[in-house]
Amino acid sequence: MEELASNYGDLVEFWLDGAGSEGHVYNFPRYVENLRMYQPNTLVFADAALFEYGDIRWVGNEKGTIPYENWNVLDRHGYLRWRPVEVDTPLHKEHWFWHPNDEASLKSVDELVSIYEQSVGRAGQLMLGLAPDQRGLLPDADVKRLEEFGSVIHNRYAQNLVKKDARINQVAEAALDGDPDNILVRARRFSSFRA
């Protein structure tokens, strides 16, 4: 854990998965404590049974969709906690790992858009499984499909992100410029305009 958490830059997400390990006892408190010493901002992924350890939880299928109304607050034993869901699915149909000459198993752009709308569109985070090839790179066909998918999503939804109010745009730009002080200054200005 020390090597993983201290030698490879920021970790965005750490999974407590345990798939296929029935009967094995994990020391989750120790794992999370060690992770937090080196990577305090890493999101810990765990299912609802590991409620006290996770920041995000699995929705329960590998199709990439949330099949029901989603509320990101979880009630476990009378304790409410914000615990957003994450869904996962591989870019290729029915498998997660790279295979040679596998372009035919790529999900279509229409399939990917449907997955996006049934995951992100239902307030979830989509984890799209990508697999590097024997060179350690994403296959060209995979990159092309991701570009096509990204283009469709951008064309379909980008206009909803652009606001007519210039003050809102200033706050949004400040939120994305990497300087945490800017967002506070611009947000205060915006709220004073609205008052």
pLDDT for 150 beyond 90: yes
Question: How confident is residue 184, by pLDDT bands cut at 50, 70 and 90?
Answer: low
Structure confidence by residue, pLDDT tens digits, 74-122? 777 777 878 888 889 999 998 899 999 899 999 999 999 999 999 998 8
Residue 4: its pLDDT value, please?
A: 87
Residue 54: its pLDDT value, please?
A: 81
Q: What percent of the chain has pLDDT over 70?
A: 78
Q: Residues with Cβ < 8 Å from 161, sequence gap 6 or more?
A: none
Structure confidence by residue, pLDDT tens digits, 120-137? 988 888 999 999 999 999
Query: Distance between CA 64 and CA 117 in Å, rounded?
Result: 10
pLDDT for 171 beyond 50: yes
Structure confidence by residue, pLDDT tens digits, 37-71? 999 999 898 876 676 778 888 886 788 888 877 78
Q: What share of the chain is helix, strand, coil (3-state, %, to 5)?
A: 45, 15, 40
Residue 190: its pLDDT value, please?
A: 47
- The enclosing H or E element of 160 equals helix 140-161
Identify which has the larger pLDDT, 66 or 19.
Answer: 66
pLDDT for 25 beyond 70: yes
Q: How much is the CA Rg of the chain, to the nearest whole Å?
A: 20
Residue 114 C-beta-side C-alpha neighbours within 13 Å:
7
Q: Is 14 exposed, middle or buried (0-12, 13-18, 19+ CB in 10 A)?
A: buried
Question: How confident is residue 195, by pLDDT bands cut at 50, 70 and 90?
Answer: very low
Residue 61: its pLDDT value, please?
A: 78
Residue 59: its pLDDT value, please?
A: 81
Residue 118 carries which DSSP code?
T
The mean per-residue pLDDT over the stretch 155-182 comes to 65
Query: Distance between CA 121 and CA 116 in Å, rounded?
Result: 7
